[in-house]
Amino acid sequence: MNLNRRQFIGVALLFAGSGAARWVSAAGPAVTALDNSKLIYLSPLLADGRESTCHAEIWFVQYQAEVYVCTSSTAWRTLALKRGLTRARIWIGEFGAWTQAKDAFRAAPTLLLEGQVETAPAVHAEVLEVFGKKYAAEWAKWGPQFRDELADGSRALLRYRVAV
């Protein structure tokens, strides 16, 4: 397919307006780490920018240039988003339970993200499918639980994008 200059600029602007361009430029090496890790360590940020004392090692998936986490509706990371504390920091890698990992995870690639609670059932279904592929060995047990708990509201799907 041959594009003239005007068409090329239009496509480039469309791409630049999408999250993908921002994701690649802002995330850089962290994207590779996300591709290779089964866990992230997540900490919501307080209004003054300090990290919460609540950290968690957690399953995640990348989908359409965003990071998704499926977690309890009563977890601090969910409550933080519902209270308007939308920024979070993640460290990418596997170091065991954060309480036992000491600060080892802090040497891992990191990203500053902006989050929201995703409520659209269609997005839930799409993202759960991605979770099922990534965590195939565990999904027979966890897949139905995630699906049921998202439906009854006891679990939330958190959607994060690179903060600007």
Which structure tokens are listed for 103?
């600060």
Domain edges within the chain: 27-162
**For 100-140, what is each residue's pLDDT tens digit?**
767 767 777 889 999 999 999 999 999 999 999 999 999 99
Using alpha carbons, select from 39, 56, 131, 42 the residue that is nearest to residue 94. Answer: 39
In this prediction the pTM is 0.79
**For 57-74, what is each residue's pLDDT tens digit?**
889 999 998 999 999 999
148 vs 109, more confident? 148
Structural contact between residues 76 and 69, judged by C-beta atoms closer than 8 angstroms = no
The CATH code belonging to domain 27-162 is 2.30.110.10
